[in-house]
Chain A
Amino acid sequence: MIRLIDVYKEYDNGTKALKGVNLRIDDGEFVFLVGPSGSGKSTIIKLITGEVYPTDGRMMVNGFSPDNMRTNQIPLMRRTLGVIFQDFRLIEKKTVWENLSFVMRAVGCSGRETRRRIPYVLKLVGLEGKENHFPNELSGGEQQRVAIARALVNNPSMIIADEPTGNLDPQRSYEIMDLLKRINELGTTVLVVTHERDLVDRFGKRVVAIEDGKIISDETGGYYNG
């Protein structure tokens, strides 16, 4: 569960990114966070992943309080999250299997656990048989599926997708969003940051719109009005 209570964020250069944001995302929800560039979407993601801290206000991320927790707790908090990026961020020198196994090893899983979990996750995202491929041998849609598999492999309670379809054509974008919807149906909370109106409108999920550091609308089954 995510809670942001009257959160402000001002960067060192004086930019006021968030101006009193209140947001609650319950377990099992599927939420679109929409808004124009520079509206504060990325700052919310950075706050949730512990990359930056709020200037003021209170936060709760899956039982952790990023506004006042010790730095050695940040990795523990991040293990409850799976992050997907627009540019996939796969390690080019590692195969699909290695891209997944190294994040499992990073949280202390044994080799045996990785051998059990990775085939299941690859099947879930439709990449069976691609274990030994390198990222540059895959299409953009497949690379994003690897990134989704990587986000899922440690069984997080929440997936955060930052513009996950930004580099894909409309058909692949729909497939990726559909995959995220299916993952959500399996019980994982999903937060998707996007400004692709068609996709948002097509899925009819909760839509939180942000502009100039403030939440301007929050509707379940809503449409993108940004």
Chain B
Amino acid sequence: MAKRINAGYYISEGFHNVFSHGFMSFAAVCMIVACLLIMGTFTLVAVNMEHMLGELERENEFIAYIDETYTREQAQGLEKDLTAIENVAGVTFVTKEEARQNYLQGREEVELLKELPSTVFRDRFRIHVDDIREISATVDRVKTVSGVAKVVVALEIAQGFVLVRNIALGVALVLIAMLMIISLFIIANTIKLATFYRREEIAIMKMCGATNGFVRWPFVYEGMLLGLAGAVVAFFLQWGVYQLVCGFIGSNAGLGLVAIIPYTAMAARIFIIFLVSGFVIGVAGSLMAIRKFLQV
């Protein structure tokens, strides 16, 4: 009897098994959905934190004061030199008149300042950086540009951002990895339970001369189908949960400043990540679960 087993047979068996063991399949899908939702929610919180910190970083700037002996044209001419410096994202020229105006904002009632001449101020550049972690080196390079008299930078704030960002990223990565491993074990155990329920079937197959591959492949396809089904359900549930949270934040004045990334902007990536995770969890869980039962 020739070997004519093909992927079509394995897939149809895997598909058939999903429905013929309905309750266990339902339990496995629920576990996958729960694990993906927990991981997904945590990842989305981390992504949003990263986004907010990034926004705050972009707003972080330092000031380069121009030598008073420089004319307005000479001062403006430094823009090219400054933007050419590595890690400088952009520069904004501020005249001494604009600087005065900015300074007086909120101090309109102070009589003493009303006669404050603009010559007290200097022309200046507001400099934004790409990577806040490199701000010290960037400041040093700006100082070397001739015509820059003084640089003022709040290094502590910049370093604070870097620290918060690193801690948040580290904690998020560790937690996501832990959740991933826990999910894998929970799902492997769920599938193991389903496999245990069918150990007799496996033993009969083996006794009749079935190879390990013949026994394993339908389980792998079954795990894959369950994983993908769980991923699709989790994707839409995640969407609902995210919208609920966004709605709550939007309606709460105290949280109005929190900038949330819309789900639709990340939907394609989330869908792909969920599908890949569901696939990996389903297949790896099946392989882990069935290994023991093949020793007949």
- Write the residues of chain A forming the contact surface with B, with a CB cutoff of 8 angstroms: 49, 51, 72, 75-79, 81, 83, 89, 91, 93, 102-103, 105-110, 113, 150, 154
Contacts and interface: CB of A to CB of B under 8 A. Distances in A.
Given A107-B209, A107-B210, 8 more contacts: A51-B296, A89-B200, A105-B9, A106-B210, A108-B2, A108-B3, A109-B1, A110-B4
Contact of B201 (A72, A91, A109, A110): A91
Given A89-B204, A91-B201, A105-B9, A113 B209 contact: no
Interface in B214-229: 214
A93 to B, nearest CB: 6
Max chain A CB contacts within 10 Å: which of B2, B200, B203, B209? B209
A108 B3 CA distance: 4
Contact of A106 (B4, B20, B214): B214
B205 A108 contact: no
Nearest to A81: B209
A75 B210 contact: yes
28 contacts: A49-B207, A75-B206, A75-B209, A76-B209, A78-B206, A78-B207, A78-B208, A78-B209, A79-B209, A83-B208, A89-B200, A91-B200, A91-B201, A91-B204, A102-B205, A103-B204, A105-B5, A105-B9, A106-B208, A106-B210, A107-B1, A107-B209, A108-B1, A108-B4, A109-B1, A113-B1, A150-B208, A154-B1
A87 to B, nearest CB: 10
A52 to B, nearest CB: 11
Contacts of B2: 108
B13 to A, nearest CB: 8
Contacts of B211: 72, 75
Nearest to B2: A108
B5 A103 contact: no
Nearest to B201: A91
A107 B1 CA distance: 8
Nearest to A87: B200
A103 B1 contact: no
Main secondary structure of the interface of A (DSSP, over half): mixed
B215 to A, nearest CB: 8
A180 B162 CA distance: 81
Interface in B1-45: 1-5, 9, 20
Max chain A CB contacts within 10 Å: which of B201, B206, B208? B208
A193 B208 CA distance: 19
A53 to B, nearest CB: 13
B293 to A, nearest CB: 14
Interface string B122-143: 0000000000000000000000
B296 to A, nearest CB: 7
A186 B240 CA distance: 67
Contacts of B1: 107-109, 113, 154
A110 B210 CA distance: 14
A76 B210 CA distance: 8
Contacts of B214: 105-106
B205 A106 contact: yes
Max chain B CB contacts within 10 Å: which of A75, A83, A109, A113? A75
Contacts of A110: 4
Max chain B CB contacts within 10 Å: which of A51, A89, A106, A113? A106
Contacts of A150: 208
A44 to B, nearest CB: 16
Contact of B20 (A49, A76, A93): A93
Nearest to A104: B1
Contacts of B208: 78-79, 83, 103, 106-107, 150, 154
A113 B1 CA distance: 9
A109 B207 CA distance: 16
A59 to B, nearest CB: 18
B22 to A, nearest CB: 11
Contacts of B3: 108
Given A75-B210, A76-B209, A108 B201 contact: no
Contact of B4 (A72, A75, A109): A109
A111 to B, nearest CB: 9
Contacts of A93: 20
Nearest to A83: B207
A76 B4 CA distance: 15
Given A91-B204, A93-B20, A106-B214, A154 B209 contact: yes
Nearest to A79: B209
Interface string B176-210: 00000000000000000000000011011111111
